[in-house]
Chains A and B, each alone.
Chain A
Amino acid sequence: MRVGVVTFPGTLDDQDAARALRLAGAEAVPLWHADHDLKGVDAVFLPGGFSYGDYLRCGAISRFAPLMTELIPAAQAGLPVLGTCNGFQILCEAHLLPGALVRNAGLHYVCRDQRIRVDNASTAWTTDFAEGQEITLPVKHGEGRYVADAETLAELEATGRVVFRYAGSNPNGSLNDIAGITNEAGNVVGLMPHPEHAVEELTGAPGVDGRGFFSSIVRKLVNA
């Protein structure tokens, strides 16, 4: 199983993402933003950070990177893609996921361990969780408030495409407490929290609940 990890200028979490994938038994393949090459990977992880300095809007420039011109059609054709934090923002800017992520309601950058409820355990990245299961992952973002128009929100809710919801308290004012969503096919998932930072007891601040994302995709690729 070869899973690509994309690095843009300003990406921060690519090393943790690669490490999390290796711990789950996948080969982490570095993908460079300026290349028109997905290197034949079986899935792609868009990690967090401040790609292109968050200039204009978070993810607005990254969305036009050469690598994205390859990734967008591949994702539309079914390639599994996970975007966390800035990766989620990029997926929304690229219109692979609906809605947008805007400034936190409280204006403050929020960095804390956050409880999250899994509401959809049938996407490519969440099959190793149980629906309704609560997990704890780190969040760290200033622009993570999910917004979409009323029609889009209603459709996401009606079709089970809200994958993760903040439990306990909402860190950023996201509509309907949305922490993560998926596309219609369930192969593209974006969320603000960071599973790649919660895969080892030693360094995963809140524990190892993030492992489920990586074991899910490895299981899917093995069975493919």
Chain B
Amino acid sequence: MARVIVDVMLKPEILDPQGQAIARALPRLGFSGVSDVRQGKRFEVELDGPADDAAIAEVRKMAETLLANTVIEDFVVRVEG
């Protein structure tokens, strides 16, 4: 059993209005010193077996196929722990 994390973020050149709204809200709530916020998605993928190279490659394929739209998003795959 292993857990693999896939982080999906909008590409830097794609406007993130949700992140901007959060960044604008923070000073109103008394939080200072934040220059920017970008919002993304985190997927926790539980594997039946170990997170070996083959399994990581398979998760990478899942990310390319379904979890991320690589036209607008970048993703990073990592093993938790």
Q: Is the C-beta of A140 less than 8 angstroms from some C-beta in chain B?
A: no
Contact check, B69 vs A60: say whether CB atoms are below 8 A apart.
yes
Bound together, the chains give a CA A169 to CA B23 distance in angstroms of: 26
Contact check, A100 vs B17: say whether CB atoms are below 8 A apart.
no
Q: Which residues of B contact A119 (CB under 8 A)?
A: none
Render B1-43 as a binary contact track against A, CB cut-off 8 A, 1 for contact: 0000000001001110110010000000000000000000000
The size class of the interface chain B forms with chain A is 10 to 19
Q: Which residues of A contact B54 (CB under 8 A)?
A: none
Q: Is the C-beta of B72 less than 8 angstroms from some C-beta in chain A?
A: yes
Q: Output the least CB separation between A66 and chain B (Å).
A: 16
Interface size on A, residues (CB 8 A): 20
Q: How many A-B residue pairs have CB under 8 A?
A: 35
Closest to A63 in B: B66
Chain A 32-74 residues near chain B, CB threshold 8 A: 56-57, 60, 64
Q: Is the C-beta of A219 less than 8 angstroms from some C-beta in chain B?
A: no
Cross-chain pairs A/B with CB under 8 angstroms, 25 sampled: A56-B66, A60-B66, A60-B69, A92-B71, A93-B69, A98-B71, A99-B71, A100-B69, A100-B71, A100-B72, A102-B15, A102-B72, A103-B17, A103-B18, A104-B17, A105-B15, A105-B17, A106-B17, A107-B17, A107-B18, A107-B21, A145-B15, A147-B14, A147-B15, A173-B15
Residues of B within 8 A of A (CB): 10, 13-15, 17-18, 21, 66-67, 69, 71-72
Q: What 5 pairs across the A-B complex have the smallest Cβ distances?
A: A100-B72, A100-B71, A107-B17, A105-B17, A103-B17
